[in-house]
Structure 1
Amino acid sequence: SRVRDLTDVAAIAYGAPSTANVAAAPGTQILLPRVASLASPGKALVFGPTYAEHQRAATIVGHAVMEVDDFEALAGADLAIVVNPNNPDGRVIEREKLLGLAGRLRARGGMLVVDEAFMDVGPLGESLAGDVEQGSMVVLRSFGKFFGLAGLRLGFALADALTVERLQAQFGPWAVAGPALEYGIRALADSGWQAEMRRRLAEEAARLDALFGRFGVAVAGGTTLFRYIRLADAAGLFSVLGERGILLRHFSDRPHVLRAGLPGGDEEWQRLESALAAWAQQRDDGA
């Protein structure tokens, strides 16, 4: 079947042990509560700061959820959740460190979920995709972000074969739409395009860092799909760029933090440069 063709190519693309370790779903979002429900309701710890959907999903299925910034504390959870690379700061946790955590959780009946939504543009050697048959861990992979097809609902859960069967039973046989099957098979099989896109994104991210740097804006992290900025006048930069039709992500709980995507083409690069110049002029005039 085409679903089997998709999981075959996904297993190869992501480095899973076999197609039996891959469950396909209509987007990663729908997987979050289902994966969280694999662990009996208990204490869920999310390694933060990170985006809020994992907390929401774990709460929905009955976990008592806390965000923690101490990695070692995760070993005391019934369900531990790590976003790797992290959104929005791009923080990466080494594979060996995650495997150590998974072993400690497994020994006491806990489970580790690693959201690798941005691993396509991360250090691929840190992925846990090849380790999932050890059990008590689920790796999530997102299709739309790297391939630029956010409206095409497709995501994957990688886990031991029994856990994959449990997840697939929740979705039934027709979970993934026909267009997502076809585009997913073609895109995941095109390793040449993927390598070229990784190279291009790295170049463009470096170009964006240099442009921000010219105006005194230091990039503190991120991935090659987005850049993470810490700036005293984050609100001012957000406002000035927004007035010129350029939207950054400003975090209400972290007022000195911004996240910026990559400009789409020459015109967008020029608009961003002009907007940064206007902001810098306002800043310097007020100094």
Structure 2
Amino acid sequence: MDIRPRLADRTVNRVTDHGGSLVQASALFPDAPMPFFDLSTGINPNPYPFSPLPASAVERLPEEADIATLAGRAADHYGAPSAAHVIAAPGTQLLLPLVASLLPPGPARILGPTYAEHARAAALAGHAVEEVERFDALYGARLAVVVNPNNPDGRLIGRSELLDLAENLQRSGGILVVDEAFMDVGPRPESLAGDVDAGNIVVLRSFGKFFGLAGLRLGFALASHDVAQWLGDWLGPWAVAGPALHAGLEALSDRDWQSTMRQDLITARVRLDALFDDAGLSIETGTDLFRFLRHPRAAQLFDHLGRNGILVRRFAGRPDCLRIGLPGDDQGFERLGLALEGWAGSGQ
């Protein structure tokens, strides 16, 4: 299967509405106190402390044996059937249009509102894309995409429901893609990582969010052996850079850090919710890496926090919604708390 000509023929707008751009924040709020405090992403603010990079990580091409070891550790960490079901990539972002191209162009439905790149990637692969808000509307698609837990609101679809959908799609040659970018802080029993041998299920897992190392660009596709082999062939032998390989090998096997971090994130999430509650702003949903707020004056809150040098995530077309990441330390919590006190004191 050669998807390159099909991708080259597509004209799809670039996505510019995303979190994490401090350059855009500074342009939007030029008089805000510096440095800007970024709470606009769902990335762990306390990254995994991997050991210093050896010179070989940047001087030499990655060894095939090390890539295989990384796949094995990812399979163990995420619960895939084996290393042969895992393909490592420079971030799941690159995998989106490749996975969408496992099928010829046809109807693609994405359970939304959610991460906008899935729709763009499916369009790049030639699909007729529709975002639907009811889970049962995914039935009848050739390509169905579910982000689970969902970004930005943390919505969770149960494993049994997803397996029923996958079985239905399989009868007509369809594929279910489940983006589990935030499942590291979700309920592990609801993951479909162990079900990819069904043949038409592809699970995407992000490394950078839970481990706080988004800039390393590392992610994984979990799939049947045949699909994993095709993705691996397309990506080629050196898709993962040496620094990402080095950090990934350490982080994925460090169970003690993972367990401690999950508890730390719960503590931080509870503390963050309390700050908003004290300001009269009730957090609706989210995950242990981000919180989701729905409020009629969300746009004004975004502006108030921005003028105080705090960036949160707003959404085009959804002016009543905000996503807030976790502060990484006491100083961050104090800065956010003071800004929220100012909001509450202003009577907004």
- Determine if the TM-score, normalized by the shorter chain, exceeds 0.5: yes
Match of 1:234 in 2: 298
Structure 1: runs of 5+ lacking an equivalent: none
Q: Write the distance in 2 (CA, Å) between the matches of 1:196 and 1:253.
A: 38
Match of 1:208 in 2: 272
**Matched AA of 2:98:** R
Match of 2:77 in 1: 13
Alignment of 1:92-131 (within 5 A): 92-131=156-195
Instruction: Using the TM superposition, give the Cα deviation of residue 69 of structure 1 relative to its aligned residue in structure 2, in angstroms.
Output: 0.7
Give the TM-score of the pair, scaled to structure 1: 0.98
- Determine if the alignment matches structure 1 residue 151 to structure 2 residue 215: yes
Q: Write the distance in 1 (CA, Å) between the matches of 2:207 and 2:318.
A: 28
Alignment of 1:5-154 (within 5 A): 5-154=69-218
Match of 1:246 in 2: 310
Structure 2: runs of 5+ lacking an equivalent: 1-64
Q: Write the distance in 2 (CA, Å) between the matches of 1:159 and 1:239.
A: 43
Instruction: Using the TM superposition, give the Cα deviation of residue 252 of structure 1 relative to its aligned residue in structure 2, in angstroms.
Output: 2.2
Give the TM-score of the pair, scaled to structure 2: 0.81
Q: Write the distance in 2 (CA, Å) between the matches of 1:157 and 1:269.
A: 35
Match of 2:286 in 1: 222
Q: Write the distance in 2 (CA, Å) between the matches of 1:136 and 1:226.
A: 30
**Matched AA of 2:220:** F
Match of 1:268 in 2: 332
**Matched AA of 1:159:** A
More deviation, 6-15/250-259: 250-259
Match of 2:44 in 1: none
Would you say how many aligned residue pairs link Structure 1 and Structure 2? 284
Cα displacement string for residues 4-37 of structure 1 (whole angstroms, at most 9, x for unaligned residues): 0000100000000001100110111000000000
Instruction: Using the TM superposition, give the Cα deviation of residue 265 of structure 1 relative to its aligned residue in structure 2, in angstroms.
Output: 1.2
Instruction: Please state whether the residue corresponding to 1:23 is helix, strand or coil.
Output: strand
**Matched AA of 2:219:** G
**Matched AA of 2:248:** G
Instruction: Using the TM superposition, give the Cα deviation of residue 85 of structure 1 relative to its aligned residue in structure 2, in angstroms.
Output: 0.3
Instruction: Using the TM superposition, give the Cα deviation of residue 233 of structure 1 relative to its aligned residue in structure 2, in angstroms.
Output: 1.1
Q: Write the distance in 2 (CA, Å) between the matches of 1:185 and 1:40.
A: 35
Q: Write the distance in 2 (CA, Å) between the matches of 1:153 and 1:235.
A: 31
Match of 1:168 in 2: 232
**Matched AA of 2:240:** V
Structure 1 runs (4+) greater than 4 angstroms displaced? none
Instruction: Using the TM superposition, give the Cα deviation of residue 77 of structure 1 relative to its aligned residue in structure 2, in angstroms.
Output: 0.3
Q: Could you tell me the percent identity over the aligned residues?
A: 60
Give the counterpart of 2:257 among 193, 198, 203. 193
**Matched AA of 2:237:** P
Instruction: Please state whether the residue corresponding to 1:169 is helix, strand or coil.
Output: helix
Relative contact order (alpha carbons < 8 A, sep ≥ 6): 1 or 2 greater? Answer: 2
Instruction: Using the TM superposition, give the Cα deviation of residue 281 of structure 1 relative to its aligned residue in structure 2, in angstroms.
Output: 1.4
**Matched AA of 2:339:** A
Q: Write the distance in 1 (CA, Å) between the matches of 2:317 and 2:186.
A: 26
Q: Write the distance in 1 (CA, Å) between the matches of 2:186 and 2:126.
A: 32
Cα displacement string for residues 187-243 of structure 1 (whole angstroms, at most 9, x for unaligned residues): 000111111111110111011101100111010111110000011111111111111
**Matched AA of 2:271:** R
**Matched AA of 1:107:** R
Q: Write the distance in 2 (CA, Å) between the matches of 1:70 and 1:224.
A: 24
**Matched AA of 2:161:** K
